[in-house]
Amino acid sequence: MLKKLVSLLLIVVLFTISSFSFAFANTSTSNDDKKDNKIINDKDDLKTITDEELTKIINDYKLTKVNSVPSGITPREFNNLDELKNCLKEFPKAPVKIKKQYSYKDFLTSESSNKIILDATESRHHIIQEYDATPITYIFLEADVYTQIVSLGGTHLAEEITDCHEWTDMNGFTAGYSWNQTYAYHRISSDRYNVEIYGGGVLDQYIKINGEEYKQSVPIDIEASYTGGVINYIN
């Protein structure tokens, strides 16, 4: 009788443990399903964005709805709202203007003497002024500045600017971006010792949200200058 009672108790205990394990497994599966569903929902949250949320994004990041995009441009698409916002935040928020000055010293081929560069009566200096529109997208103002060396008597020489060719360009990650140059020109001073170089345009970023196309735009102006002038040359 005692053996039967012990056996019965063991059966009850084993049944209880089995029931608990089964219930725990079901709960875990249910929780995993919920997590999976949450991940799916997170990825699809752009599809369920409300008109109010979309309007706020359009206003905050100054987006303009477009009916078409330039040939060769594929609007960028995003998996979720966070990806979209991060991309829009990286884009410049206001008109950009930068300037840098260069001189013949930036192009010396020897740190200890001017002789090497001045041995040539004519030179071409290639200038690159870069603006990082995003961490991986760059706008350039480039110029070839042509100069000649003339003697002023004694040990004095001068580097005169004879011509300049300039242009702008975009490089780096350019998918979904369009760079539209609106101007590129230069001005050489009357004494031909200095040239001011100008280039600029509009950078557009095209994106697609739920089948609708938008663009984000910013004007960018870049300036550079090159100065030659009088050089005390010691042989």
pLDDT digits (tens, 9 = 90+) for 56-69: 999 999 999 999 99
For the whole model, what pTM was predicted? Answer: 0.74
Percentage above 90 pLDDT, the chain: 57
Average pLDDT over every residue of 207-220 = 95
12 band by pLDDT with thresholds 50, 70 and 90:
very low
d(C-alpha 210, C-alpha 80), whole Å: 11
Tokens representing 51 are 């008109």
DSSP assignments along 204-221, one per residue: EEEEEETTEEEEEEEEEE
Lowest mean pLDDT among 23-27, 86-90, 197-201: 23-27
Residue for token digits 């998918």? Answer: 175
Percentage above 70 pLDDT, the chain: 74
What integer best gives the mean pLDDT of the chain? 81
CB hemisphere CA count around 52 (13 angstroms): 0
Side chain identity at residue 128, one-letter code: I
